[in-house]
């Protein structure tokens, strides 16, 4: 269960406890809370155990069954809220943007490499012409 769901469920459970306290003038059971929120018993017990660990609710077993009390509802705000879960479309968009950036870098590197090759070729050609001119001039004077 993500923190975002736990945060929302904590608010729902605490609200249900308060509503059922008002309706029945007593502490509700986990079964009553699950019925009020249309949760399965397993889901209700799981959420209530997590809320008990966070000291948000108290679960008391007595002769009349398991009763639930609101302990420290302010602890709900300490549950970290997950940012919006990324969707497949967002992930594809990120991938495409990343791929486009990499392709641009490759093109840039290839252009630099081509310029470097051209400059090197021009330099070699200049040296060759200079060498040919030097040998050509020395033959004329000899």
**Residue 11 in tokens:** 């608010």
Please report, for the domain that includes residue 52, its CATH number.
1.10.10.10
Residue 93 vs residues 84, 88, 89, 133: alpha-carbon distances, Å: 16, 9, 6, 59
pLDDT tens for each residue of 55-88: 999 999 988 888 999 999 899 998 887 666 567 7
The residue-averaged pLDDT of 5-29 equals 93
In this prediction the pTM is 0.56
Total number of domains in the chain: 2
* Contact indicator for 45, 53 with CB cutoff of 8 Å: no
142, pLDDT greater than 50: no
Shared-domain flag, residues 18 and 58? yes
Among 78, 95, 123, residue at a domain's last position: 78
What local confidence, expressed as pLDDT, does residue 17 receive? Answer: 95
52 & 94 share domain:
no
Give the other-Cβ count within 10 Å of 120's Cβ. 10
pLDDT > 60? residue 129: yes
Domain match, 111 and 65 both = no
Q: What is the dihedral of CA 24, 29, 35, 36, to 10 degrees?
A: 50
Same structural domain for residues 13 and 72? yes
Which residue range(s) make up the domain with 107? 87-142
Three-class SS state of 72:
coil
Q: Tell me the per-residue pLDDT of 30-47, one tens digit each, with 9 for 90 and over.
A: 999 999 999 999 999 999
pLDDT at 111 over 90: yes
């Amino acid at each position: 269960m993500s923190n975002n769901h736990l945060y929302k469920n904590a608010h729902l459970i605490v609200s249900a406890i308060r509503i059922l306290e008002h309706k029945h003038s007593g502490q509700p059971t986990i079964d009553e809370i699950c019925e009020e929120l249309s949760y399965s018993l397993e889901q209700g017990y799981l959420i209530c155990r997590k809320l008990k660990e966070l000291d948000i609710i108290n679960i008391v077993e007595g002769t009349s069954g398991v009763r639930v009390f609101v302990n420290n509802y302010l602890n709900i705000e300490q549950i970290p809220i997950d940012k919006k879960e990324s969707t497949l479309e967002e992930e594809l968009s990120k991938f495409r943007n990343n791929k486009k950036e990499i392709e641009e870098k490759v093109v840039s590197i290839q252009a630099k490499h081509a310029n470097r090759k051209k400059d090197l070729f021009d330099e070699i050609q200049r040296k060759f012409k200079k060498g040919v001119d030097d040998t050509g001039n020395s033959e004329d004077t000899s």
